[in-house]
Amino acid sequence: MTNCPTLIVTVGLPARGKTYISKKLTRYLNWIGVPTKEFNVGDYRRECLKIYKSFEFFRPDNEEGVKIRRQCAMSALNDVRQYLSVEGGQVAVFDATNTTRDRRGTIMKFAEQNGFKVFFVESVCEDPEVIAQNIVQVKLENPDYMNCSSEEAIEDFMERIKCYETSYQPLDEDLDSDVSYIKIMDVGRRYLVNRVVDHIQSRIVYYLMNIHITPRSIYLCRHGESDLNIKGRIGGDSGLSGRGKEFAKRLRNFLEEQNIKDLKIWTSQMKRTIQTAECLGVPYEQWKSLNEIDAGVCEEMMYEEIQEHFPLEFALRDQDKYRYRYPKGESYEDLVQRLEPVIMELERQENVLVICHQAIMRCLLAYFLDKTSHELPYLKCPLHTVLKLTPVAYGCKVESVYLGVESVNTHRDRPENVNVQRSTEDALQTVPAHL
Amino acid sequence: MSSTQRDSGASTNSTEAKKTDPRWNEKKCSWASYMTNSPTMIVMIGLPARGKTYMSKKLTRYLNWIGVPTKVFNLGVYRREAVRAYKSYDFFRHDNEEAMKIRKQCALVALQDVRVYLTEEGGQIAVFDATNTTRERRDLIQAFVKENGFKVFFVESVCDDPDVIAANILEVKVSSPDYPEKHRERVMEDFLKRIECYKVTYQLLDPDDYDKDLSFIKVINVGQRFLVNRVQDYIQSKIVYYLMNIHVHSHSIYLCRHGESNHNVEGRIGGDSELSPRGKQFAHALRDFIDEHKLSDLKVWTSQLRRTIQTAEELGVPYEQWKILNEIDAGVCEEMTYQMIQDSFPEEFALRDQDKYHYRYPGGESYQDLVQRLEPVIMELERQGNVLVICHQAVMRCLLAYFLDKGADDLPYMKCPLHTVLKLTPVAYGCKVEMFYLNVEAVNTHRDRPLGKNPRDSALIHRRNSYTPLSSHDQVKRPRLYSAGNQPWLPLAPTPSALMPERLQSQARTGGSCLSPCAKESTLMAAKKLVAVFASE
């Protein structure tokens, strides 16, 4: 059973955060390079039913409802099989209530037949405030409740939960002692972890134990404009230009205005981020893993020089910017790997400002905004602009704040011609202006 | 700062004594240390022979290695100090009033030592290794912790598998100072009665009611199951993660360096050169060595530098490349000989000798950086069974220091000669080491600690990054060497096999080098390549 695909199965009453966990976990696994997809049985049901009338559909004595729901689950499992066995997926997250032992037994049999490992993630919560908060945040926007008022929706949803409660069989220490699972209680106050069998499950457990839902914001920005930026050169370890220093001052004002509670500030170990943080006049922490991507032999070169000396490398990079590794340097893929501990720590923390670099910021942003490896290397992260990310519902709200200090543009779009035989002109088509 | 070492009552191992000083200097802190603010007391809970001391020592070793000053306070040691001769299990009967008084007294003395360690000696974590099975005792500890402003995290080990318990007793209790006569059956009998004494008053942690506000992890049946409650901070989360990844199954870890490389022969450090002829011979010898030892399911890991990859290629078995196993980056000194470094950067050369562990090459790394980067390797080695790690001198020193519990002072001077395989087997509370020299000659790349007492230069203490106001000049940044290079006509860079369905062969390719590209791409994986370097099960 080495390297076999994993089926993660959520368990829990409605409004316990199963979909929140599924989506977040899927986003994390994809970001670290493990092909993962979620399969939400509710979506299948909406596809099948088209119109949701009321909670009556979920009553355990509603025979037709039960039949349709089982069909939807089967349909979803078929798609899971397709994804894991045929399409090359590595992890599938089966997001449904799965509250009965019977249903879970069916799933485990399915997994065994197909050679998948199973790992259950159960969310147990009895705090009425948390449940109410969940309903307001995600259920009211749900297609099921498009045409009713908030009060009606809440009332109906509470009835829906009741339909499941009577038949709910939580994972049990004794009856389910041979099953691999994590039981999350009270939004992470307590965890019960049983029989973690392999590396990916251990990583999943570690991740789930580090996330929280306390409201907070993450601020991402680059260092102020540097001397090498002005010259159009990549990499290096130069200091701030005059405008860069001005940005640092404005950043300080911005933070004071925002009045952020217990803000932590992180920088890389390169001059330009450290100098930016120094201006803020508050303690900050340096992470080596936040250092800019190492451009190897191309360090401190202008794009024009790279084209002149390494036209082949330049073209290859344009062909697959995510995976391309500079000779004696790094790739975006390498970056993601070295940034994983940073992400884990960002998940644990509350309010944080990360002062980093273009490639780094793209990787971090891709994690929060669920961007693919194709989009990641072309995300726009201009100088002198702060991005404020606030987790909301299943995703992340982004606010972009330009601090009004001019700077060069360092963003190079993918040129049209990425052929290795292309002309210099074609290669340099998208190079931004510089001195 | 002073490091007044206590007598045997305080320290459990001889090595403990020399650790507190070099490990604590707040300006030299490791990242892990920075993230820990108030001192934390880890309190073990459990009946005898439940692996408390095993976990205490292992955890302490791990925390010290990642740079968080930690010390174990084993109550048994204090008790043996107070009651010179152990007679029998009667001492532990809960109705033995005089014994109870002595035992409580020992606990108080130990707690005082904990306080001194955490507040005056610069310790950050104290592991209180005792049974702590009653609420009364735990309440006492909590009052102590509150009074001193420490955090507390409980680790309870619960086990009802009689085989595991019997094995524990045989492995560590039979050789305990309490049983000098070592007559197995008698030891077993007495010890089992001792356990019974504790069972009478054992009050397990109650997560639902009495103990619901405490921070703790309950380890059940040697890691089959865990209950984790209210993890408060970064270091507790790392402790939980560590405890969830260790196991007690017997396995061996083999550490060796790549075969001798061309740079080695020339006396150059770093770089990405290929194996010399003798290096290739070593690779063959290594293959024979593996065959001889008949290791089942041996995993082989290398770095992403040519010399380790070439070594692994000869073994004819699947292997995985880890970028984080790459040799220490010597920055501006890459590919120089020591003579050249001394000529070009005499101040740097001197600084390095003063504090080799913390010294960071300009534009490069320090041993301290290495430890941080190697932490995932250690975590994965703990999870795995039999592994052979083919790496580099500095890297091997760091890994070895973890297994053999060597401090920052000793780590950079550990002897890791070429063409020698070290076999590490966990045994009792430590690690057995066997050294196998594979009989292929090689140059010696070891530079001993320079003689004479070098004053600790204050300039070094303030250097925390490659940019400092105190660095000697604006260096030209030399290209850092990471990969084995890219094959110009294949844009996909080599990646480790990790979680992919098919184990891939070597993927090192260089433009026109002798390495033959033999990567098999699973077509299913072409869409999204896997990045994780962690080994598969």
DSSP states of A8-43: EEEE--TTSSHHHHHHHHHHHHHHTT--EEEEEHHH
Cβ(A15)–Cβ(A161) under 8 Å?
Answer: yes
Q: How far apart are CA B505 and CA B527, in angstroms?
A: 19
pLDDT band at B454 (very low <50, low <70, confident <90, very high): low
- Tokens 């920055």 map to which residue? B331
What tokens does A349 get?
Answer: 């923390």
Share of chain A above pLDDT 90, in %: 78
Single-letter code of the amino acid located at B322: W
- pLDDT exceeds 70 at position B286: yes
Contacts of B493 in chain A (CB under 8 A): 323-325, 331, 333
Best of A37, A337, A414 to disrupt the B interface by mutation (most B CBs within 10 Å)?
Answer: A337
Contacts of B481 in chain A (CB under 8 A): 328
pLDDT band at A116 (very low <50, low <70, confident <90, very high): very high
- pLDDT exceeds 80 at position B9: no
Nearest to A337 among B272, B522, B531 (CB): B531
Q: How far apart are CA B366 and CA B29, in angstroms?
A: 13
Inter-chain residue contact B323 with A334, CB threshold 8 Å: yes
Cβ(B388)–Cβ(B251) under 8 Å?
Answer: no
pLDDT band at B514 (very low <50, low <70, confident <90, very high): very low
Query: Can you name the residues that pair with B299 across neighbouring β-strands?
Result: B387
pLDDT band at B32 (very low <50, low <70, confident <90, very high): low
Contacts of A191 in chain B (CB under 8 A): 226-229
Single-letter code of the amino acid located at B77: V
pLDDT of residue B530: 30
pLDDT, tens only, B132-162? 999 999 999 999 999 999 999 999 999 988 8
Give the closest-approach CA distance of B47 to chain A in angstroms: 21
pTM for this one? 0.81
Say whether residue A350 is in contact with chain B using an 8 A CB cutoff: no
Nearest to A3 among B31, B240, B501 (CB): B501
Task: Mark whether B129 is an active-site residue.
Answer: yes
Q: How far apart are CA B198 and CA A121, in angstroms?
A: 36
Q: Tell me, what DSSP letter sits at residue A302? A: B
Q: How many CB atoms lie within 10 A of CB A338?
A: 20
Cβ(B326)–Cβ(B533) under 8 Å?
Answer: no
Contacts of A32 in chain B (CB under 8 A): 531-532
Cβ(B1)–Cβ(B23) under 8 Å?
Answer: no
- Tokens 């069916």 map to which residue? A106
DSSP states of A184-208: EETTTTEEEEE---SHHHHHHHHHH
pLDDT of residue B149: 92
- pLDDT exceeds 50 at position A70: yes
Cβ(A368)–Cβ(A395) under 8 Å?
Answer: no
Say whether residue A375 is in contact with chain B using an 8 A CB cutoff: no
pLDDT band at B19 (very low <50, low <70, confident <90, very high): very low
Say whether residue B244 is in contact with chain A using an 8 A CB cutoff: yes
- pLDDT exceeds 60 at position B36: no
b/e burial code for range B143-176 (CB count within 10 A of at least 16 → b): ebbeeeebbbbbbbbbbeeeebbeebbeebbbeb
The arithmetic mean of pLDDT across residues B354-371, rounded, is 89
Q: Tell me the torsion sign for CA atoms B223, B225, B228, B233.
A: positive
List the one residue out of B258, B364, B261 whose CA is nearest residue B302: B258
Cβ under 8 Å to A: B residues 365-384: 369, 372, 380, 383
- Count CA atoms within 13 Å of residue B76 on its CB side: 16
Beta pairing class for B216-220 and B225-229: antiparallel
pLDDT, tens only, A129-184? 989 888 888 888 888 888 888 888 888 999 999 999 999 999 999 999 999 999 99
What is chain A's mean pLDDT, rounded? 93
Inter-chain residue contact B227 with A323, CB threshold 8 Å: no
Share of chain B above pLDDT 90, in %: 54
Q: How far apart are CA B173 and CA B195, in angstroms?
A: 12
pLDDT of residue B185: 82
Say whether residue A334 is in contact with chain B using an 8 A CB cutoff: yes
List the one residue out of B132, B157, B154 whose CA is nearest residue B216: B154
Inter-chain residue contact A327 with B486, CB threshold 8 Å: yes
Cβ(B230)–Cβ(A190) under 8 Å?
Answer: yes
Residue B430 burial by Cβ neighbours in a 10 Å radius (0-12, 13-18, 19+) = middle
Residues 6+ apart with CB under 8 A from B91: B83, B99
pLDDT of residue B10: 37
Inter-chain residue contact B225 with A271, CB threshold 8 Å: no
Cβ(A8)–Cβ(A25) under 8 Å?
Answer: yes
Q: What element of type H or E holds A419?
A: none
Q: Tell me, what DSSP letter sits at residue A351? A: S
pLDDT of residue B502: 35
Cβ(A140)–Cβ(A149) under 8 Å?
Answer: no
List the one residue out of B119, B73, B103 whose CA is nearest residue B194: B103
Single-letter code of the amino acid located at B191: F
Nearest CA in chain B to A313: B488
- Tokens 């562990």 map to which residue? B357
Q: What element of type H or E holds B254?
A: strand B253-257
Q: Decide which of B168 and A120 is more confident.
A: A120
Inter-chain residue contact B479 with A312, CB threshold 8 Å: no
pLDDT, tens only, B171-214? 877 777 888 776 778 888 888 898 999 999 999 999 999 999 99
- pLDDT exceeds 60 at position B120: yes
Say whether residue A324 is in contact with chain B using an 8 A CB cutoff: yes
pLDDT band at A123 (very low <50, low <70, confident <90, very high): very high
Left (φ > 0), alpha (ψ -120 to 50) or beta: where does B426 sit? Answer: beta
Say whether residue A278 is in contact with chain B using an 8 A CB cutoff: no
pLDDT band at A60 (very low <50, low <70, confident <90, very high): confident
Nearest CA in chain A to B511: A327
Inter-chain residue contact B479 with A328, CB threshold 8 Å: yes
Nearest to B228 among A193, A199, A330 (CB): A193
Contacts of B228 in chain A (CB under 8 A): 190-193, 209
- Tokens 């639902």 map to which residue? B208
Nearest CA in chain A to B510: A327
Say whether residue A202 is in contact with chain B using an 8 A CB cutoff: yes
Q: How many CB atoms lie within 10 A of CB B104?
A: 13
Cβ under 8 Å to A: B residues 348-367: 363
Q: Is A264 strand, coil or helix?
A: strand
pLDDT, tens only, A364-389? 999 999 999 999 999 999 999 999 99
What Rg do the C-alpha atoms of chain B give, in angstroms? Answer: 25
Q: How far apart are CA B304 and CA B323, in angstroms?
A: 5
List the one residue out of B226, B264, B231 whose CA is nearest residue B245: B226
Q: How far apart are CA A257 and CA A236, in angstroms?
A: 33
b/e burial code for range B316-342 (CB count within 10 A of at least 16 → b): eeebbbbbbbbbbbbbbbbbbeeeebe
Which whole-number Å values give the CA distances from B442 to B262, B267, B268, B280, B388, in the listed order? 11, 12, 14, 11, 20
Give the closest-approach CA distance of A6 to chain B in angstroms: 11
Q: Tell me, what DSSP letter sits at residue A56? A: G
Inter-chain residue contact B499 with A189, CB threshold 8 Å: no
No. of H helices and E strands in chain A?
Answer: 15, 12
Give the closest-approach CA distance of A203 to chain B in angstroms: 9
Beta pairing class for A6-11 and A36-40: unpaired
Task: Mark whether B355 is an active-site residue.
Answer: no
Length of chain B, please?
Answer: 537
- Count CA atoms within 13 Å of residue B73 on its CB side: 24
Inter-chain residue contact B483 with A325, CB threshold 8 Å: yes
Q: How many CB atoms lie within 10 A of CB A326?
A: 27
pLDDT of residue B37: 67
Q: How many CB atoms lie within 10 A of CB B112?
A: 12
pLDDT band at B458 (very low <50, low <70, confident <90, very high): very low
**At B512, phi and psi to the nearest 5?**
70, 20
pLDDT of residue A327: 83
Cβ(B328)–Cβ(B371) under 8 Å?
Answer: no
- pLDDT exceeds 80 at position B482: no
What Rg do the C-alpha atoms of chain A give, in angstroms? Answer: 25
DSSP states of B17-58: HTTHHHH--GGG--HHHHT--S-EEEEEE--TTSSHHHHHHH
pLDDT band at B88 (very low <50, low <70, confident <90, very high): confident
Q: How far apart are CA A33 and CA A337, in angstroms?
A: 9
Left (φ > 0), alpha (ψ -120 to 50) or beta: where does B167 sit? Answer: alpha
Q: How far apart are the first and last CA of chain B?
A: 46
- pLDDT exceeds 80 at position B535: no
Q: How far apart are CA A401 and CA A353, in angstroms?
A: 13
Q: How many CB pairs under 8 A join A and B?
A: 168
Cβ(B50)–Cβ(B194) under 8 Å?
Answer: no
- pLDDT exceeds 70 at position B485: no
- pLDDT exceeds 80 at position B523: no
Give the closest-approach CA distance of A339 to chain B in angstroms: 12
pLDDT band at B99 (very low <50, low <70, confident <90, very high): confident
Nearest to B464 among A197, A237, A286 (CB): A286
- pLDDT exceeds 60 at position B512: no
pLDDT, tens only, A183-230? 999 999 999 999 999 889 999 999 999 999 899 999 999 999 999 999
Inter-chain residue contact B527 with A330, CB threshold 8 Å: no
Say whether residue B481 is in contact with chain A using an 8 A CB cutoff: yes
Q: Is A173 strand, coil or helix?
A: coil
The arithmetic mean of pLDDT across residues B434-447, rounded, is 94
Say whether residue A270 is in contact with chain B using an 8 A CB cutoff: yes
List the one residue out of B410, B412, B432 whose CA is nearest residue B423: B432
Q: How far apart are CA A192 and CA A186, in angstroms?
A: 12
What tokens does B313 get?
Answer: 């290629």
Q: Decide which of A52 and B408 is more confident.
A: B408
pLDDT band at B35 (very low <50, low <70, confident <90, very high): low
Beta pairing class for A264-267 and A352-356: parallel
The arithmetic mean of pLDDT across residues A327-351, rounded, is 91
pLDDT band at B509 (very low <50, low <70, confident <90, very high): very low
Say whether residue A287 is in contact with chain B using an 8 A CB cutoff: yes
Q: Tell me, what DSSP letter sits at residue B284? A: H
pLDDT of residue B489: 22
Say whether residue A329 is in contact with chain B using an 8 A CB cutoff: yes
ipTM for the complex shown: 0.84
Residue A318 burial by Cβ neighbours in a 10 Å radius (0-12, 13-18, 19+) = buried
Inter-chain residue contact B227 with A190, CB threshold 8 Å: yes
Q: What element of type H or E holds B155?
A: strand B151-158
Q: How far apart are the first and last CA of chain A?
A: 58
DSSP states of B181-228: T--HHHHHHHHHHHHHHHHHH-----TTTTTTTS-EEEEETTTTEEEE
Say whether residue A414 is in contact with chain B using an 8 A CB cutoff: no
